[in-house]
């Protein structure tokens, strides 16, 4: 089946189970945090309307919280609250605070002073004035704040999937990683519709007459709690072990799809960004993760790689890929890049990654140390005969490789180097290469095969996970289709792998993925 030709509706229909779960999670996340924000924000707004000297401080603190980029706010939460729903809810709560506090404040201070004076002069106490005059008259302004907060939350909640809190972001980020437009839209369209729906409903609530607004206010808390509780429906049925897979892994044939079709593996899965996945496994929040076999954190967190006994993960041998145009323009380039060929095996790469990811050494230092140790390092030569544009994807290993290549080029040639590191994904890197925005970047054979070439299943089967066959195939096809050359492999195989904590794997006697399936199905 060719995924490209699949229509959006087909895709949504196929994924309807997941879509429903993600939507419930999304609504739940939005409203749990909104409920908390109303609970805190409205009284805070009332307080600063009473004590105006506090209003500046409170509003600017809430304003500053609002300016923190959402993804960074989620990042700040992880060390404190770990992964999952908790940090996501706290982050969303913080975002929702400002509009609610500000509108409560504006609403209350905006009540006609004559009406307020009348209330006091009739002999109402401060609380009576608040509840029977000020709050009812401020309701529509407060609701406008809640409406803003809701729309913000529906949007920001898509980021919650980065830290394993679920929601429609799982489709969106999976789709971005896999360059699957249908998948992106399957997440994005419902998210947009949810935002529009809640915006519309709240705008109607805002226009309620004074007659009905009282009743509406009584129903509102119950409705909020109901919507908030939707989050817990999907997680009510869990399993023995919990897996955390990246959005990309979730959608790949050589990922979760293959696990399901080839192994028949079904496991309680949450979607999580690889930045926090390893630590979460180490801290027992996850049991199985989809890692990379050369990831430095493997070593840092003492993780055990399950053997892929049915061979669903194709070989991912790394090699620089260069546009033909650059090779012609810079004759010394190929020879220089090939200096690294067969120099880095799996364990060396894991160690290099470990230094960067875990010991927090800079990629430059790790690259230089490696070259020195292998007698490859040379002082920078004059660079005046052109600039080579070097790309890399956005993870540590690629940064290290980019630095190594940069130093080699500077040391062995007269070329200068401009690096464009941190490109967001395979598709972005590759498009930059074919559009002549970069000259080269390190790529993996398996990725080249499955993500870029996307051959038929028969072709994939014919390569049968064979290292050399795969390399030869991508080399030939890239040259033919894109005028891009695969240089010699660097040596290591950074393939997908399932990993567990060493101790848990031993305790459960799990060494292969088949063992894992067997364990999950027993008792």
Residues of the shown chain interacting with another protein in the complex, contacts defined by CB under 8 A = 112, 114-115, 117-125, 128, 133, 136-137, 210, 213
Residue 302 CB contacts under 8 Å (≥ 6 apart), including other chains: 282, 501, 502, 503
Q: How far is it, in rounded angstroms, from Cα 377 to Cα 355?
A: 19
Nearer to another protein among residue 79 and residue 214 (C-beta):
214
Residues contacting 325, CB < 8 A, separation 6+: 436, 439, 483
Q: Nearest distance from residue 118's CB to another protein, in Å? A: 3
CA 476 to chain centre: 33
Closer by beta carbon to another protein, 69 or else 123: 123
- Of 369, 346, 351, give the one whose Cα is nearest residue 299: 351
The nearest distance, CB 109 to another protein, in angstroms, is 17
The structure tokens listed for 492 are 């290591």
By C-beta, is 213 or 453 nearer to another protein?
A: 213
- Least distance in Å: CB of 111 to another protein? 10
Smaller CB separation from another protein, 123 or 331: 123
Q: How far apart are CA 358 and CA 346, in angstroms?
A: 17
Which CB, 26 or 116, lies closer to another protein?
116
CB of 119 to another protein, least distance (A): 7
For residue 54, the Cα-to-chain-centroid distance in whole angstroms is: 38
CB of 103 to another protein, least distance (A): 18
Q: Which is nearer to another protein, 122 or 219 (CB)?
A: 122
Nearest approach, Cβ of residue 214 and another protein (Å): 9
Whole-angstrom CA distances from 212 to 132, 216, 221 are: 15, 6, 16
CA dist 332 to 295, 300, 349, 357, 372, Å? 31, 38, 26, 32, 21
Q: Which CB sits closer to another protein, 67 or 209?
A: 209
Identify which of residues 123 and 509 has a Cβ nearer to another protein in the complex: 123
Place of tokens 């101790």: 503
Q: What is the DSSP letter of 308?
A: -
Which of 103, 493 has the CB closer to another protein?
103
The string of DSSP letters for 67-92 reads HS-HHHHHHHHHHHH-SSHHHHHHHH
Question: Minimal distance in Å, beta carbon 211 to another protein?
Answer: 9
Q: Which is nearer to another protein, 111 or 227 (CB)?
A: 111
Q: Strands (DSSP E) along 374-515, which ranges?
A: 387-393, 416-423, 440-444, 484-486, 496-501
Distance CA 360, CA 296 (A): 11
The least distance separating another protein from the CB of residue 133, rounded to whole angstroms, comes to: 6
Using CA atoms, how far apart are residues 194 and 196, in angstroms rounded to an integer?
A: 5
Output 113 or 509, the one with its CB closest to another protein. 113
Cα 124-129-130 angle, rounded to 5 deg: 155
DSSP, collapsed to helix, strand or coil, labels residue 321 as strand
Decide whether 117 or 380 has the Cβ nearer to another protein. 117
Shortest distance (Å) from residue 27 CB to another protein: 31
What is the closest distance, in whole angstroms, from the C-beta atom of residue 212 to another protein in the complex? Answer: 11
Dist. CA 252–CA 483, nearest whole Å: 26
Q: How far is the CB of 140 from another protein (least distance, A)?
A: 10
Classify strands 484-486 and 440-444 as parallel, antiparallel or unpaired.
unpaired
Q: Which is nearer to another protein, 122 or 464 (CB)?
A: 122
Least Cβ distance, residue 124 to another protein (angstroms): 7
**Contacts (Cβ under 8 Å, ≥6 apart) of 268:** 237, 238, 239, 240, 241, 242, 243
| 3-state secondary structure labels for all residues of 242-306 | EEEECHHHHCCCCCHHHHHHHHCCCCEEEECCHHHHHHHHHCCCCCEEEEECCCHHHHHCCEEEC
Output the smallest distance, CB 132 to another protein, in A.
8
């Amino acid at each position: 089946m060719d995924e490209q030709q699949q229509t959006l509706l087909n895709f949504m229909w196929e994924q309807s189970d997941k879509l429903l779960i993600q939507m419930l999670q999304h609504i739940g996340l939005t409203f749990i945090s909104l409920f908390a924000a109303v609970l805190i924000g409205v009284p805070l707004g009332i307080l600063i309307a009473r004590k105006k000297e506090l209003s500046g401080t409170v509003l600017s603190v809430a304003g500053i919280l609002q300016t923190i980029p959402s993804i960074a706010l989620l990042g700040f939460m992880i060390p404190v609250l770990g992964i999952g729903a908790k940090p996501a809810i706290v982050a969303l709560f913080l975002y929702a605070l400002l509009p609610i506090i500000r509108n409560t404040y504006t609403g209350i201070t905006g009540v006609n002073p004559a009406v307020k004076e009348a209330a006091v002069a009739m002999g109402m106490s401060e609380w009576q004035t608040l509840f029977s005059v000020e709050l009812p008259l401020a309701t529509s302004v407060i609701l406008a704040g809640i409406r803003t907060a809701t729309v913000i939350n529906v949007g920001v909640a898509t980021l919650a999937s980065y830290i394993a809190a679920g929601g429609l972001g799982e489709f969106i980020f999976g789709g971005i990683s896999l360059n699957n437009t249908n998948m992106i839209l399957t997440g994005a369209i419902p998210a947009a519709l949810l935002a529009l729906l809640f915006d519309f409903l709240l705008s109607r609530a805002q226009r309620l007459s004074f007659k009905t607004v009282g009743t509406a206010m009584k129903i509102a808390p119950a409705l909020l709690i109901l919507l908030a509780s939707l989050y817990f429906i999907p997680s009510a049925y869990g399993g023995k072990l919990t897996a955390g897979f990246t959005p990309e892994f979730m959608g790949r044939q050589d990922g979760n799809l293959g696990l399901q079709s080839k192994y028949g593996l079904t496991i309680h899965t949450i979607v999580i960004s690889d930045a926090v996945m390893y630590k979460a496994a180490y801290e027992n929040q996850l049991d199985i993760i989809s890692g990379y076999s050369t990831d430095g954190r493997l070593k840092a967190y003492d993780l055990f790689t399950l053997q892929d006994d049915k061979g669903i993960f194709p070989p991912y041998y790394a090699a620089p890929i260069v546009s033909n145009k650059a090779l012609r323009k810079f004759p010394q380039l190929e020879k220089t890049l090939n200096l690294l060929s067969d120099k880095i095996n799996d364990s060396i790469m894991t160690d290099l990654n470990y230094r960067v990811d875990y010991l927090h050494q800079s990629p430059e230092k790790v690259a230089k140390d490696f070259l020195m140790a292998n007698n490859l390092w040379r002082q920078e030569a004059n660079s005046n005969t052109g600039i080579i544009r070097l790309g890399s994807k956005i993870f540590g290993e690629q940064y290290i490789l980019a630095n190594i290549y940069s130093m080699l080029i500077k040391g062995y040639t007269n070329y200068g180097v401009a690096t464009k590191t941190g490109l967001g994904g395979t598709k972005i890197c590759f498009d930059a290469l074919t559009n002549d925005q970069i000259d080269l970047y390190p790529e993996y054979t398996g990725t080249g095969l499955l993500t870029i070439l996307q051959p038929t299943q028969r072709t994939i089967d014919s390569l049968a996970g064979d290292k050399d066959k795969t390399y030869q195939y991508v080399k030939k096809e890239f040259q033919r289709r894109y005028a891009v050359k695969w240089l010699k492999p660097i040596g290591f195989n950074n393939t997908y792998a399932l990993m567990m904590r060493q101790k848990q794997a031993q305790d459960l006697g799990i060494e292969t993925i088949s063992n894992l399936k067997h364990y999950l199905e027993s008792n």
